[in-house]
Amino acid sequence: MIDLRSDTLTKPTAGMRQAMAGAEVGDDVYGEDPTVKALEERVAGLLGKEAALFSPTGSMANVLAVRSLVGVGQEVLCEASAHIARAELGVHGAVTGLTMRTWVGKPLDLVTIQSMYAPDMGPFFVATRAISVENTHNFGGGAVVPLPELEALREFADERGLGVHLDGARLWNAHVATGTPLASYGAVADVVAVALSKGLGAPVGSLVAGTAETIAEARVWRKRLGGGMRQVGILAAAGLYALDHHVERLAEDHEHARLLAEVCGVDPATVDTNIVVVPMADPARVVAAAREEGVLVSAVGATSLRLVTHLDVTRSDAEKAAAVLARLLG
């Protein structure tokens, strides 16, 4: 089967498995796992931050990041289909007690954000404390948020005393697609979350990066949420291997996505990275028919088909899948 449902479905490569098997480990709750420490220092350096913390999941990394900026009863603003709003099962409100207001449309709409901003007015209205932006934007078709837009957001946030959270689960894709340094993305946000288990192909893991003080507090909250881990260097080794071997190759995934877009009637120029969203009336029909021909794709609600390229989809796989989809959509 050629699996285009998500880039979370990749399996560790032989080299990655070898790196995991040979990892030097220690008890990470005691701060004694050298491989975890190496990964945290590496990612913090890439993002231009003082420190980083390894987390078992992207959702936990986002919770730790947003909680560091927004207190109980305060609000974070984000786009309506953002991962923190739609795909984390309400954990931010359920566990940390914050509230959330959303705008609909562009991954980053500064004019709308400015109109939504609510200052602290005492015991009358919920106060805005932070803005969250997802880059690349998953449900926005892997769209890259341009750096100048993020810098304008940072300027506005500084004027209002607001925090900025960057959900960079696929920030590696944005970096490769645009050539923008990772540290430039890191500079626009107070806290950044990045994933290793999507395009980079590691089996587990995300990191949250920020100031040393923020990360020290996040470490406490990670333990509080059940995320304290022991000899987790085995997993951190996969992340280090991915950073060494799987970042620049993301360009291949982007090329494969544009190939698929073209046969599906989507302008390849509108595909920024590795996700293709194909509007259609009956995506469930195509999902079922494609499965019969050995291609796995997913429906996004009742209006769109989603295709995601990744490490385990070769050029040949992409061409075969394109041929199947061209027949089904022709």
> CATH number for the domain including 272?
3.90.1150.10
CA 128 vs CA 74, 103, 109, 120, 136: distances in Å:
6, 14, 16, 7, 24
We report the CATH number of the domain holding residue 111 as: 3.40.640.10
Write down which residue in 205, 222, 245 finishes a domain: 245
End-to-end Cα spacing for the chain? 22
Looking at the structure, do residues 203 and 262 belong to the same domain, yes or no?
A: no
Which of 245, 268, 286 is the C-terminal boundary of a domain? 245
Asked if the structure places residue 5 within a domain, the reply is no
Q: What is the pLDDT of residue 140?
A: 92
Q: Is residue 100 part of a domain?
A: yes
Residues 98 and 137 reside in one and the same domain: yes
Distance of CA 261 to the CA centre of its chain: 22
pLDDT at residue number 301: 84
Q: Is 126 among the domain residues?
A: yes
Tell me how far CA of residue 277 lies from CA of 9, 32, 40, 101, 257, in angstroms.
18, 44, 33, 25, 10
pLDDT by residue, tens only, the chain of 330 residues: 999 999 999 999 999 999 999 999 999 999 999 999 999 999 999 999 999 999 999 999 999 999 999 999 999 999 999 999 999 999 999 999 999 999 999 999 999 999 999 999 989 899 999 999 999 999 999 999 999 999 999 999 999 999 999 999 999 999 999 999 999 999 999 999 999 999 999 999 999 999 999 999 999 999 999 999 999 999 999 999 999 999 999 999 999 999 999 999 999 999 999 999 999 999 999 999 999 999 999 998 889 999 999 999 999 999 999 999 999 998
6 domain residue, yes or no: no
Alpha carbon distance 69, 75 (integer Å) = 10
pTM: 0.95
Q: Rounded to whole angstroms, how far apart are CA atoms 114 and 134?
A: 18
Domain membership of residue 291 as a residue range: 249-329
Specify whether 107 is located in the same domain as 253: no
- Residue 26 and residue 110 in one domain: yes
Distances in Å between the alpha carbon of 101 and those of 115, 158, 167?
12, 20, 16
Q: How many domains does the chain have?
A: 2
Same domain as 210, residue 110 = yes
| pLDDT of 330 | 80
SS3 for 2? strand
| Same structural domain, 122 and 260 | no
